[in-house]
């Protein structure tokens, strides 16, 4: 199925969880926050949150800034 | 009392200098500059994680010691109240159960345009109201307009942070009298209310001047990261923050047009 991750269309396995999506991109969950369709997914819920086709996912982290 | 200590909301900083984390040539240099500045509070921005080409898994938080530093997430780069609130919540989420302090506060930055990077007052006020309702302690980057600052204080800002001059411009504090008026009026209600000059600092004397006006702290980034020798500038900024505060508390002499002799007139050999 198709989902949009950080503005890019990505093909993922049907029913993939947020945690599995992060694993696929080799992203450590402790360093990011995730939004699914504008709703924050708490880190504790990453494994228990499956994605649906067409979901808009944002994965953000901290970067240098002032 | 330790004159370097600064209380903002529920946080106590051991230095009156808050430093940014952007524009450093390397994360190692950033870490070393933070240490040299003497600050224990650093601000970080929220951006999309890269999905490819992640530079060997290095994350900025791996270069900030959670025991030593309090993180201050910011909403840099936001242009509407909606974006500010969204980014603030993402920052809070990232810091929750992360081992770092700083989840429940935020530096609110709502910009007007990319050319001036000046704060947009209406969006700033709207975002503040939502974030306060949401339980955030909000440090508000704003212009040096006393009426706006008073309003932000009334709406529950934990600190107000007027710009000395545009972000990254290095022009220093362009309107010291505006800062003086803000200090007088905001501290009438609460003498301990934190007022911090954020943005525009170019060199150590800019920091000293701001601190001598009586502001509670200074937030800066480019002045260190963009200096020829950032490590040395970081140290200079830390010292300027301290010396400026000391001078403010000591109380400067009044300016006079004519001279006043330091040595006695009596007993001169030619008298």
Coil vs helix vs strand at B210: helix
Question: What number is the ipTM of this complex?
Answer: 0.96
Point out the residue among A6, A32, A65 whose CB comes nearest to the CB of B76. Answer: A65
pLDDT of residue B54: 62
Q: Is B141 on the interface with A (CB under 8 A)?
A: no
Count how many Cα atoms sit within 13 Å of the Cα of residue B216 in the half-sphere of its side chain: 25
Q: Is B221 on the interface with A (CB under 8 A)?
A: yes
Cα of B260 to nearest chain A Cα, Å: 44
Cα(B254)–Cα(B72) distance, integer angstroms:
38
Give the global pTM: 0.94
pLDDT digit string (tens) for B174-224? 999 999 999 999 999 899 999 999 989 999 999 999 999 999 999 999 999
Question: Could you state, in order of their start, the residue ranges of all structural domains in chain A?
Answer: 2-61
pLDDT of residue B2: 66
The answer to whether B30 contacts A33, with C-beta atoms less than 8 Å apart, is no
| Residues of B with catalytic function | 107
Q: What residues contact A32, with CB distance under 8 A and at least 6 apart?
A: A22, A59, A60, A61, B49, B94
A20 beta partners: none
Q: Which whole number is the average pLDDT over A30-44?
A: 96
Q: Which whole number is the average pLDDT over B233-257?
A: 97
pLDDT of residue B270: 86
Cα(B206)–Cα(B212) distance, integer angstroms:
10
Q: Which whole number is the average pLDDT over B57-71?
A: 94
Burial category of B191 from C-beta neighbours within 10 Å (exposed 0-12, middle 13-18, buried 19 and up): exposed
pLDDT digit string (tens) for B111-161? 999 999 999 999 999 999 999 999 999 999 999 999 999 999 999 999 999
Distance, first Cα to last Cα, chain B: 48
Q: Which of chain B's residues have a Cβ under 8 Å away from the Cβ of A33?
A: 46, 90-91, 93-94
Overall residue count recorded for chain B in this entry: 271
Which residues of A, range 12-51, sit inside 8 Å of B by Cβ?
25-28, 30-33, 35, 38, 40, 42-44
Domain A2-61 fold is: Ubiquitin-like (UB roll) (3.10.20)
Q: A-B interface: how many C-beta pairs under 8 angstroms?
A: 108
Point out the residue among A33, A43, A62 whose CB comes nearest to the CB of B44. Answer: A62
Q: Which of chain B's residues have a Cβ under 8 Å away from the Cβ of A62?
A: 44-47, 59-61, 71, 73, 91, 94
Task: Determine contact, residues B25/B54, Cβ cutoff 8 Å.
Answer: no
């Amino acid at each position: 199925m198709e989902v949009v991750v950080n503005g890019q269309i990505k093909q993922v396995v049907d029913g993939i969880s947020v945690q599995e999506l992060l694993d696929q991109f080799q992203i450590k969950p402790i360093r990011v926050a995730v939004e699914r369709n504008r709703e924050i997914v708490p880190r504790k819920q990453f494994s228990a949150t499956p994605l649906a086709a067409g979901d808009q996912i944002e994965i953000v982290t901290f970067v240098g800034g002032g | 009392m330790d004159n370097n200590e600064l209380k903002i909301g529920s946080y106590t900083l051991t230095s009156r200098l808050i430093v940014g984390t952007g524009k450093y040539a390397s994360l190692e240099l950033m870490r070393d500059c933070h240490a040299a500045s003497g600050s224990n509070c650093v601000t970080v921005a929220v951006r999309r994680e890269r999905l490819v080409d992640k530079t060997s898994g290095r994350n900025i938080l791996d270069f900030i010691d959670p025991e030593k530093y309090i993180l201050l997430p910011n909403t840099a780069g936001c242009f509407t109240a909606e974006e500010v609130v969204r980014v603030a919540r993402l920052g809070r989420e990232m810091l929750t159960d992360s081992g770092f302090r700083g989840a429940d506060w935020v530096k609110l930055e709502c910009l007007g345009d990319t050319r001036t990077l000046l704060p947009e007052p209406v969006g700033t006020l709207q975002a503040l109201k939502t974030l306060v309702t949401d339980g955030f302690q909000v440090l508000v980057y704003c212009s040096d307009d006393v009426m706006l600052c008073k309003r932000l204080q009334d709406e529950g800002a934990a600190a107000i942070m007027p710009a000395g001059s545009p972000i990254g411009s290095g022009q220093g504090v362009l309107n010291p009298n505006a800062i003086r008026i803000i200090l007088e009026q905001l501290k009438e209600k609460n003498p301990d209310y934190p007022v911090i000059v954020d943005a525009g600092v170019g060199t150590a004397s800019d920091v000293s001047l701001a601190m001598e006006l009586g502001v509670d702290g200074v937030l800066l980034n480019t002045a260190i990261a963009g200096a020829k020798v950032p490590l040395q500038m970081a140290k200079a900024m830390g010292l300027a923050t301290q010396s400026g505060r000391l001078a403010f508390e000591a109380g400067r002499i009044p300016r006079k047009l004519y001279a006043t002799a330091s040595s006695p007139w009596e007993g001169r050999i030619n008298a």
